Structure 1
């Protein structure tokens, strides 16, 4: 099996300057528990529903907190060649 056989091609991206409220809304809209975060054509992180719960909600952060403050920054990825 190859990555290209199971990967998602039409991926919605978050911007690190969006709020976690906007991120949660997009996650609900596309029924996803995780979304990549991109800036200037680069992958800069990944935001998961767990990131929102552990790094924002549990810490008492505002829903207007920026995605950059709670996203996971170390992301491994691959390309379809």
Structure 2
């Protein structure tokens, strides 16, 4: 059985809640990713996505110098590195999200896993296909 740690990306950047939306967008652009955990070191307090920046910030007229804290999602859905890919796919389906922060047994951030990681690395695509279908279904 493959676990989340088999497919996760361990090169994770964390952004401060006091950083600006402009800085977050630059990190996303430069790193070619669409999500940043928010916190200090491995203590997560939120998550910000490229979609959060557009839908919560830009669409609401927030300035690019607005702190990340004002646009981030505080409800963090995460997965343990030892969880199965099926469990992670189920979480993604249930919450209609494409990326999950990955924590260790002590709840410290150790990676990020995306639906794309499953598709590239997983030997069983059934959970991925089901998760993607559920994620893509409008609520």
The TM-score with structure 1 as length reference comes to: 0.92
Alignment match, 2:36: 35
Relative contact order (C-alpha < 8 Å, sep 6+): which is higher? 1
**Unaligned stretches of 5+ residues in structure 2:** 83-139
The CA RMSD over aligned residues, in Å, is: 1.3
1:40 CA drift (Å) = 5.8
Any residues of structure 2 matched to 1:2-81 within 5 Å, and which?
2-39=3-40, 41-80=42-81
CA radius of gyration, larger in: 2
| Corresponding pairs, count | 81
Contact 2:17 2:38 in 1 (8 A): yes
Runs of 4+ in 1 over 3 A off after TM superposition: none
Unaligned runs of 5+ in 1: none
The structure whose residues are more often helix, as a share, is 2
